[in-house]
Amino acid sequence: MKKIIVAILMICFGVIAYKTIYIKEEGELFDYNLKKSSAISKGSLFTSPESTIEESLKESKKNNNIDKFLDLEKQLQNEYNKTSSSLVLYWQAYLGYAKSRYYNELGYMDKAKEEILGSVEILERITLKNSDDYALLGMLQGFAIPFLKKQKVVVYSIKARKNIAESLKLDSTNVRGHFVAANNDAYTPKEFGGGQIIEKHLKKAIELSPKTSKNSFSPSWGKIESYSLLIFHYRQIGEMDKADNLLKRFNKLYPEQEIMGFEID
């Protein structure tokens, strides 16, 4: 049984009008904004773009160079030149985020800033954004905040919250939307309302599927991050039993994985 939901955005005086069509079938939301990805070359990094990029980050740290990143950038640009796929833009932005993390850890703050702001610009080029686009955009904007001057911090903070909310509005079952909402709240100072919704969103996230689409090129990040941040949160507030129980559950589900580290004041 298929149900078609049509969302139409109209901007005053008919300057812009477009529609996005979603089909909900068997409890899963498919965004036809990803349909162009069928043209993406098989056998490229797109057989597993997320893991390829993350492995490239590890390799870059190990070898202390960005050769792998540069190779992936060329592949992604070639794919975009052939397909003009919004999904390629997504992974271009994700790659820029990985490069920014790399430079940030090395202390090259100017380069880290350049990469993360460039990634934000790439995602903003996607005209018809889906839930995952908004989730990643909100995360990148939040990551960019420490690199910004004071007058831009508020602007980016508002944009990040707005995009996170839009992600969850489009798909309330998107694990990445919930993780980014919690992560943004975790890094928001308490005097500005931070720390209020971390547990709620992370408890929701760890129960959700990491994939929101059957598309093999779609993202799956967010679940490991959600477990890791929730364990960190419980430890930070002194709920050690909850943290230990959750860690046991994590180790049982993901015996080959390690929880991720967080540094939050």
**pLDDT tens for each residue of 47-91:** 789 989 999 999 999 889 899 999 999 999 999 999 999 999 999
pLDDT for 161 beyond 80: yes
Q: Using pLDDT thresholds of 50, 70 and 90, give the confidence band for residue 27.
A: very low
Higher pLDDT, 22 or 256: 256
Higher pLDDT, 5 or 71: 71
Q: What is the pLDDT of residue 44?
A: 54
Q: What is the pLDDT of residue 241?
A: 98
The least confident of 69-73, 192-196, 199-203 is 192-196
Alpha helices in the chain (DSSP H): 49-63, 67-83, 86-106, 109-124, 131-144, 150-170, 175-186, 198-205, 223-236, 240-253
pLDDT for 105 beyond 50: yes
The least confident of 19-23, 38-42, 186-190 is 19-23
Kindly state the DSSP code that residue 208 receives in the 8-state scheme. S
Q: What is the pLDDT of residue 87?
A: 93
Over residues 6-32, mean pLDDT:
31
DSSP-based three-state secondary structure for 171: coil
Quote the CA–CA distance of 116 and 222 in Å, as a whole number.
19
Q: What is the pLDDT of residue 264?
A: 66
Determine whether 203 is exposed, middle or buried from the number of CB atoms within 10 Å of its CB (0-12, 13-18, 19+). middle
Kindly state the DSSP code that residue 1 receives in the 8-state scheme. -
CA torsion through residues 135, 137, 139, 141, sign: negative
| Average pLDDT value over all residues in the chain | 84
Angle between helices 86-106 and 131-144 (to 10 degrees): 20
Q: Using pLDDT thresholds of 50, 70 and 90, give the confidence band for residue 144.
A: very high
- Asked whether the beta carbons of 175 and 205 are under 8 A apart, the reply is yes
Q: Using pLDDT thresholds of 50, 70 and 90, give the confidence band for residue 42.
A: low
pLDDT for 141 beyond 90: yes
pLDDT for 211 beyond 70: yes
Over residues 99-113, mean pLDDT:
96
Q: Using pLDDT thresholds of 50, 70 and 90, give the confidence band for residue 41.
A: low
How many residues in total does the chain contain? Answer: 265
The pLDDT > 90 percentage for the chain reads 69
Q: What is the 3-state secondary structure (H, E, C) of 103-147?
A: HHHHCCHHHHHHHHHHHHHHHHCCCCCCHHHHHHHHHHHHHHHHH
The least confident of 17-21, 30-34, 104-108, 209-213 is 17-21
pLDDT for 163 beyond 80: yes
pLDDT for 114 beyond 80: yes
pLDDT digits over 221-261, tens only?
Answer: 999 999 999 999 999 999 999 999 999 999 999 999 999 98
- Asked whether the beta carbons of 182 and 202 are under 8 A apart, the reply is yes
Q: What is the pLDDT of residue 17?
A: 30
Q: Select from 146, 254, 82 the least CA-distant residue to 246.
A: 254
Reading the block at residue 217, the tokens are 């090129």
